[in-house]
Chain A
Amino acid sequence: MDQETFTALVRQGESTLYRVAKAILHHEHDVEDAVQEGLLKAYQNRNKLKNEAFFQTWLTRIIINECYSLLRKNKPVRPFAEEDLEIPAPAVANDADLYQAIRMLPPKIRITIVLYYVEGYSTVEIKTVLKIPQGTVKSRLAKGRTLLKSILTDEREGDCHGSKTMEESLS
């Protein structure tokens, strides 16, 4: 793969890279650092990718690894796990509610939900990207759906702005 193709494919998937990294990391500068390191690593190893059709999946895997690597290296870096459960859901639009609800999911479930619903990956692709059995992908999705419903229902009961049903949101 030449540099021009690499650059074009990265630009094409830039938003995906952001959302995937943001699903794992909290701070914007950590997201940027992880993506930068992932891109450098991907570029260095681009000739190991035999089929360009799998570039986005392959790059996503590298970015996820970088995010987890950053979490491991820099303990002060804060994944939005337990602490963020305490963040009150904003009383704003539904999109913001959904985003906050996604952020409240446990990390492993959150990335699975983001890849499946937000990025449109199939369970087979997620299995490859996360290196977990397909059954685990499905169970995480099921768990994630249940948790999202629960979180959003709680928000809605304490708030009057919700208009979509959970079935609409998660169908």
Chain B
Amino acid sequence: MDQKQWKKAFPEPPQSFHRKVEATLASLPQEKEKNIMRIKKRFAIPVIALVAIVALGTGLLGTGKISSMIGSSCASPTYTQLPTAAELSEDLDFSPTIPPAFENGYTFENGTIGKESGLDENGNVLEKHKSLDCLYKNGSDAISLNVAEKWSFPHEEDGTVVETYNGIELKYTVNTYKFVPGDYEMTAQDKADEASGKYVFSFGTDQIEIEEVQGLTWIQDDLSYLLMASDSSLTETDLVTMAKEVIDR
């Protein structure tokens, strides 16, 4: 009896399996993105890394801890116009506050639904959430507003509390990221820079780039909000003001 006959004895993979594989492959983070999507990706990476750092610092989640995160989203934006609360509720199972524009001129450009998975050190998925990543542009400058369901692991060390507004803590972080290609081999200097905190390394870009990334996070109605600005002229105070606009809506 040859291998073909053995295989024939097994049932063919059902269509549902094929669809799941294809959906998984389609949800893998895009590597070759252009213009706006590339900008979005570059925003998304620090989001992931930021949470990973927090997780490492905050310890246990159930029986494990999140040591890394995978984020994925569709290559094309889900929304090119501001979605309604009903649309968001149907697509995300939650309805975040998404302003059409901020008073400082940043205006909604598009929004993309993605998935975020928190992994332990062995790569086991501990938690999964849907997320919405919105891009706001002001001329050539862009910022991202990311909203996801609140993670189970503690957020106490998620940045420095810079203000408490209406009972909501606003936490700020700033890091210098070194974005490198996926197959980049870290040098001894890179490892030293990472150990010293000079750079946070993020893999997956086409070229090596160094950027300062600011993040402001808060929890509102069991949703985790994150405003992210990369190499931006916006200051910590500006981000706080923008966060307050979202909270007040």
Contact = CB atoms under 8 A, between A and B. Distances in A.
Interface of A: 1-3, 6-7, 10-11, 14-15, 17-19, 22, 28, 31-32, 35-37, 39-41, 43-47, 69, 94-96, 98-99, 102, 117-120, 164, 168-171
Given A7-B28, A117-B3, A45 B10 contact: no
A69 B124 contact: yes
B124 A10 contact: no
Interface residues of B, number: 34
B17 A171 contact: no
A15 B183 CA distance: 28
B17 A99 contact: no
8 contacts: A14-B21, A17-B21, A35-B17, A35-B20, A40-B28, A98-B9, A102-B9, A168-B1
Contact of A10 (B10, B12, B21, B123): B21
A102 B12 CA distance: 15
Given A39-B24, A40-B70, A14 B13 contact: yes
B28 A6 contact: yes
Contact of B17 (A18, A40, A117, A164): A18
B10 A40 contact: no
A44 B7 CA distance: 30
Contacts, number: 95
A117 B13 contact: no
Contacts of A168: 1
A2 B31 contact: yes
Contacts of A44: 68, 70, 119, 123
B9 A95 contact: yes
Interface of B: 1, 3, 5-14, 16-18, 20-21, 24-25, 28-32, 68, 70, 117, 119, 123-125, 182-183, 203
A171 B2 CA distance: 8
Contacts of A17: 21
B13 A15 contact: yes
A156 B6 CA distance: 18
Nearest to A32: B20
B9 A39 contact: no
A43 B24 CA distance: 10
B189 to A, nearest CB: 20
A170 B6 CA distance: 9
Nearest to A2: B31
Nearest to B18: A14
A21 to B, nearest CB: 9
B155 to A, nearest CB: 24
Chain B CB within 10 Å, residue with most, of A19, A40, A170 = A40
A99 B25 contact: no
B125 A37 contact: yes
A35 B13 CA distance: 12
Given A32-B16, A44-B119, A19 B7 contact: yes
A10 B25 contact: yes
A4 to B, nearest CB: 8
